[in-house]
Amino acid sequence: MRAPSAQIPAALLLIAAAAVLAGALARPYDLERMVVWHDEVFTAMRVFGNSQAEVGQEVFSGHERPAADLLAYQRPSPGRAWTHTLSAFKEHPEHAPLYYTLAWLAAALPAEPIAALRGTSAVLGVLLIPAVFWLARELFRDPGAAWVAAALVAISPLHLLYAQEARQYALWTVLVAAASAAFLRALRRGGRADWALYAVLAALGLWSHALTVLAVAAHGAYGVLTAGGRAALSRFLRAWGAALGLAVLLFAPWLWVMVAGAEEVQRFTGWMQRPISAERIAEAWGMHLVRVFADLPAAGRWLLLGLLPLTWVLWRLGRGAPARVTLFLGLLLAAFASAMLLPDLVLGGSRSLHPRYVLPGFLALTLAAAWVLAQGWDAPQRGRRLGARAGLMLVLALGLGSQWQILAADTWWSKNYSGENHRVAARVNAAERPLVLASGSGVGLGELISLAYDLDPEVRVWGEPPGSGARVPAGYASLFAVTPSGELRAQLGPSYRLEPVGGTWQWYQAVPIAGEEQP
């Protein structure tokens, strides 16, 4: 291992700085381009003080309305004050409210509401770059490795996706990175102000996502394992325990909301328990790990070959890095990965399909790659030096190429089951006298409003009222349905055949059956 130096090779600094600039500029680019997916719909709904129950009652009322009317729930309203927004937050206690509060403030800016909400994430995505730089400086004590880490996180396609989404994950990731850097600084310097800063950042992390507790646990384990003696261990436990206590105290108001709303938390997170196969879990994790650095849809499953160089990076880290570096990165990744992976394997569930819950843990992979590539940049062995330089250029090229494709696309895998809504809307808009039907459910409500972003304003929508036996309105030539209920299917059944639209599972077109009279 080369000794850390304040002198950074000029070529390395230039390349890293260019990558940082490109990644920072990519975050706020064309924020209204991609489909507004289901979860973002509910983000906007809550930010602007609209209760999901109230909106559901109005939409699933059996009355026809223009699609454009649905977007009223996605923007500020004179009749909705901060108290309405706070009430909407409390309806979903599983989502800590810090990001949503920042988005509410950003919505006052002269911009389209969805651009303001996504813009909040974009700014936070830019802040992730210096936060990772700080963390790498504290961990590696090498400015060259810190610059490489900043460059790698800047060009990461995975972090770009969440920096352009109206959700809390960009905020959460930057706060965990900053809290981790503050922890290492407090461990190194030991001052009360340093531990207080760590406590505040940890509390803010909790206010962005309750899973910050995993990072705090990893910090505690690292401090215990590296204390080096009973006296040092005692000093650490007192300082860390006091910081932890302060963080919990600062988070206590929302912690009470979560405890009081435990049944709601269980209800809104119950979907995670849907079991998936071990093979699918393994493939999902492989794709997540590679997508930290490259996300090229044309490669398909061949992208999983990226696990080979990633395995080599971890091997090099384990062989050459200081034990404290390997331990810190290992604990950070293991804390988040095990919390998602083990319940899926032992109890059954689908948490592993969603990399957003492991984003702070994936920073460990970025930092590992940064250390290996920076150490090899000016290694004495010519082969290793050339390999590290070529490897860094290749990773940067793959990351920037992936980001270029993302910035040119109108949908991506991160949009989940709403990803085809642009194309579904285009099909509805092109149909003759269309009517969009929706049955009452959280998925149906979110998907209907998501579709409304791209529907022609005059397209009519109809929400099926619960248990009323209401008839589908007549006079429309083309019928489309989202998550149709059994009652709605039965009503359409004699005259129509429901066919999935564009490979989706939630959208259907009602195709007339020849010779049958239409309702």
Residue-by-residue pLDDT tens, the chain, 519 positions: 455 556 789 999 999 999 999 999 999 999 999 999 999 999 999 999 999 889 999 999 999 999 999 999 999 988 888 888 999 999 889 999 999 999 999 999 999 999 999 999 999 999 999 999 999 999 999 999 999 999 999 999 999 999 999 999 999 999 999 999 999 999 999 899 999 999 999 999 999 999 999 999 999 999 999 998 899 999 999 999 999 999 999 999 999 999 998 888 888 777 778 888 999 999 999 999 999 999 999 998 899 999 999 999 999 999 999 999 999 999 999 999 999 999 999 888 888 999 999 999 999 999 999 999 999 998 889 889 999 999 999 999 999 999 999 999 999 999 999 999 999 999 999 999 999 999 988 899 999 999 999 999 999 999 999 876 778 999 999 999 999 999 999 888 888 999 999 889 999 999 988 655 554
Owner of token pair 């998602």: 340
3 state SS of 343: helix
Q: Name the nearest CA neighbour of 485 among 444, 518, 435.
A: 444
Q: What kind and span of H or E run contains 480? A: strand 478-482
Q: How many CB atoms lie within 10 A of CB 448?
A: 26
Question: Which amino acid does the sequence have at 427?
Answer: R
Measured CA distances, 306 to 177, 293, 403 (Å):
25, 9, 17
Q: What is the pLDDT of residue 479?
A: 95
Q: CA-CA distance, 183 to 185, in Å (whole number)?
A: 5
Q: What is the pLDDT of residue 228?
A: 85
Q: Name the nearest CA neighbour of 258 among 198, 209, 202, 218.
A: 209
Residues 106 and 48: beta-carbon distance below 8 Å? no
Q: Name the nearest CA neighbour of 145 among 362, 374, 298, 480.
A: 374
Measured CA distances, 127 to 22, 322, 333 (Å):
14, 28, 21
Owner of token pair 């000029």: 10
Q: What is the pLDDT of residue 231?
A: 93
Q: What is the pLDDT of residue 5?
A: 52
Residues 358-403: tens digit of each pLDDT: 999 999 999 999 999 999 998 889 889 999 999 999 999 999 999 9
Residues 470 and 80: beta-carbon distance below 8 Å? no
Q: Residues with Cβ < 8 Å from 387, sequence gap 6 or more?
A: 376
Q: CA-CA distance, 380 to 286, in Å (whole number)?
A: 33
Owner of token pair 């696309």: 409
Owner of token pair 């709403």: 418
**Domain assignments of the chain as residue spans, ordered by start:** 10-30+112-415
